[in-house]
């Protein structure tokens, strides 16, 4: 059941309407003292042999573009977490580096993390999800329009 949601993943359910609102870029997050902070961009090859904080979904699969990174560049997986905010916190504590969405990284920039763009860049679709089987209060439609307007 859903009233309104924002997701990196499209719903396969016929009961949910998926509307793409923007493309979010993946970024590398680093502790402030990390040597890679000297670089303007992080190449995926720079991750080799780094202590990497991976993010797994509930099925224990890598999320976002991490699967490609893990398969092709073999960073040393130090920790796996189930949420991007937890990855940001652990990075701020010097536990490793990670890759997360630019939106999440900027929301957690106050944690003493450095944010660097990745090369090659990867972008992920972000969707508004809304039930197709329910009538909504005008407030839900208003919120959906505000979100859609902000990102378009």
The per-residue pLDDT for 4 is 87
The per-residue pLDDT for 116 is 97
Q: Which residues pair with 27 in a beta bridge?
A: 100, 117
The per-residue pLDDT for 75 is 62
Cα dihedral: 46, 49, 50, 54 (round 10):
100
Instruction: List, in order, residues 6 or more apart from 58 with CB less than 8 Å away.
Output: 82
Dump strand ranges (E) for 60-131: 76-81, 98-101, 113-119, 123-131
Token code pair at residue 22: 């923007």
Token code pair at residue 38: 């000297």
The per-residue pLDDT for 111 is 95
The answer to whether the beta carbons of residues 20 and 147 sit under 8 Å apart is no
The answer to whether the beta carbons of residues 53 and 80 sit under 8 Å apart is yes
* Site of tokens 């099925």: 59
Helix, strand or coil for residue 16?
strand
The per-residue pLDDT for 40 is 96
The per-residue pLDDT for 61 is 53
Mean pLDDT of residues grouped by 10 in the chain (152 residues)? 83 90 92 96 86 71 53 65 91 93 93 93 88 79 86 77
The per-residue pLDDT for 62 is 52
């Amino acid at each position: 059941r859903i009233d309104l949601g924002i997701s990196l993943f499209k719903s396969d359910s016929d009961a949910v309407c998926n509307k793409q609102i923007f493309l979010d870029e993946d970024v590398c997050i680093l502790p402030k003292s990390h040597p890679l902070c000297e670089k303007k961009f992080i190449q995926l090859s720079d991750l080799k042999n780094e202590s990497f904080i991976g993010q797994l979904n509930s099925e224990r699969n890598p999320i976002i573009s991490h699967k490609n990174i893990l398969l092709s560049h073999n960073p040393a997986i130090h920790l796996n977490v189930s949420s991007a905010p937890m990855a940001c916190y652990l990075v701020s504590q010097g536990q490793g580096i990670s890759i997360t969405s630019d939106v999440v990284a900027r929301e957690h920039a106050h944690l003493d993390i450095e944010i660097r763009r990745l090369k090659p860049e990867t972008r992920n679709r972000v969707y508004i999800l809304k039930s197709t089987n329910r009538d909504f209060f005008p407030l839900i439609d208003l919120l959906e329009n505000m979100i859609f307007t902000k990102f378009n």
